C-alpha cells in the first residue's frame, strides 16, 4: 500500500459518520443521560428493595397538592423548553431566549417548592437517620433520592441560564440550546418515576 493510500484511509477514518448520525456534542449528552439513568435506576431499585424488606416503613404523606403542583410545573417547563428550541431553530433569538428563561424560572420554582417541602418534613422531626413515624431508613432514602434529583434540577437551571445568555450573545447556537433541552427533559423524565415510587407509594390514607 502506498503512502498516499494510507493517508487516504486515515482521512476517511477521521471523517467517518458519527455514531447513530448524531453530532458529537449531542452524543456526549446522550451518553451522560444514559449514565445518569443508571445512577437513578440504582437509587430507585435500592429504595424498592429496602422498602420491601423493612416492616415498619412510614407513609407520612397526607396531601398530594405540593407534589402535584411540582409535577405540573416540571412537565410544563419541558414544554416551554421545546418552544424555546423551536424558536431557536427558526432563528427567532429573542423568543428562544424568552422561552429558555421561562423554563429556568419553572425549574427554580420547582426547586423552591421542593425545599419548602423538605423544611416542612424536617419541622415534623424527619432527619437523615430518624423520623417520628417508623424506620429511620425512610429519611435516608427520601433525602438521597429527592436530593439527587433536586441537585440535577439546580444544575439544569444554572445550565439553562448560562446557555440562554450565551445563545442570546451569539456565542452558542440553536444546537447548544437543544442539547441543554435534552438534559432538562431527562430531569423531567426522572421525576416521572420519583413521584409514584417515593411519594404516591408512601401516601398515608
Partner 1 sequence: MTTAAGKQNGIGKYVVIYICILAIAALQFVVAYSNITPSQMFARTLFLAIIEAALALLFFMHLSHNRGLLGFVVIFTVFVLLTLQYGWTDSFRLSGGIPWAR
Binding footprint of partner 1 on the chain (CB under 8 A): 20-22, 30, 34, 37-38, 41-42, 45-46, 49, 53, 64, 68, 71-72, 75-76, 78-79, 82-83, 86, 90, 182, 185-186, 188-189, 192-193, 195-197, 200-201, 203, 205
- Set of cell numbers at residue 140: 435516608
How does 67-104 read in b/e, with b if 16+ C-beta sit within 10 Å? beebbebbeebbebbbbbbebbeeeeeeebbbbbbbbb
Tell me how far, at minimum, the Cβ of 55 lies from partner 1, in Å: 13
Which CB, 130 or 134, lies closer to partner 1?
134
Tell me how far, at minimum, the Cβ of 91 lies from partner 1, in Å: 11
Q: How far apart are CA 71 and CA 80, in angstroms?
A: 14
Q: How far apart are CA 166 and CA 102, in angstroms?
A: 16
Which CB, 22 or 151, lies closer to partner 1?
22
Tell me how far, at minimum, the Cβ of 6 lies from partner 1, in Å: 30
Q: How far apart are CA 144 and CA 128, in angstroms?
A: 9
Which CB, 128 or 201, lies closer to partner 1?
201
Which CB, 69 or 115, lies closer to partner 1?
69
Which CB, 98 or 130, lies closer to partner 1?
98
CA atoms in the 13 A half-sphere facing the CB of 152: 24
Tell me how far, at minimum, the Cβ of 177 lies from partner 1, in Å: 14
**What is the dihedral sign for C-alpha 18, 24, 29, 32?**
positive
The beta strand positions in 139-195, using DSSP E, are: none
DSSP H/E element including 189: helix 174-194
Tell me how far, at minimum, the Cβ of 45 lies from partner 1, in Å: 4
Tell me how far, at minimum, the Cβ of 136 lies from partner 1, in Å: 19
Which CB, 112 or 192, lies closer to partner 1?
192
Which of 201, 183, 63 shows the shortest CA–CA distance to 141?
201
Amino acid at each position: 500500500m502506498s503512502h498516499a493510500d494510507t493517508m487516504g484511509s486515515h482521512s476517511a477514518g477521521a471523517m467517518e459518520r458519527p455514531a447513530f448520525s448524531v453530532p458529537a456534542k449531542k452524543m456526549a449528552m446522550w451518553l451522560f443521560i444514559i449514565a445518569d439513568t443508571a445512577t437513578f435506576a440504582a437509587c430507585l431499585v435500592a429504595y424498592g428493595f429496602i422498602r420491601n424488606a423493612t416492616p415498619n416503613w412510614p407513609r407520612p404523606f397526607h396531601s398530594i397538592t405540593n407534589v402535584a403542583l411540582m409535577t405540573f410545573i416540571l412537565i410544563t417547563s419541558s414544554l416551554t423548553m421545546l418552544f424555546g428550541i423551536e424558536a431557536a431553530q427558526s432563528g427567532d433569538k429573542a423568543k428562544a431566549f424568552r422561552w429558555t428563561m421561562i423554563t429556568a424560572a419553572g425549574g427554580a420554582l420547582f426547586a423552591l417548592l421542593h425545599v419548602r417541602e423538605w423544611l416542612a418534613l424536617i419541622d415534623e422531626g424527619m432527619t437523615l437517620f430518624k423520623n417520628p413515624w417508623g424506620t429511620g431508613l425512610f429519611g435516608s432514602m427520601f433525602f438521597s433520592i429527592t436530593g439527587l434529583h433536586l441537585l440535577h434540577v439546580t444544575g439544569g437551571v444554572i445550565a439553562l441560564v448560562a446557555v440562554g445568555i450565551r445563545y442570546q450573545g451569539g456565542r452558542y447556537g440553536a444546537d447548544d440550546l437543544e442539547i441543554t433541552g435534552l438534559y432538562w427533559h431527562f430531569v423531567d423524565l426522572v421525576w416521572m418515576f420519583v413521584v409514584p415510587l417515593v411519594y404516591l407509594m408512601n401516601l398515608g390514607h
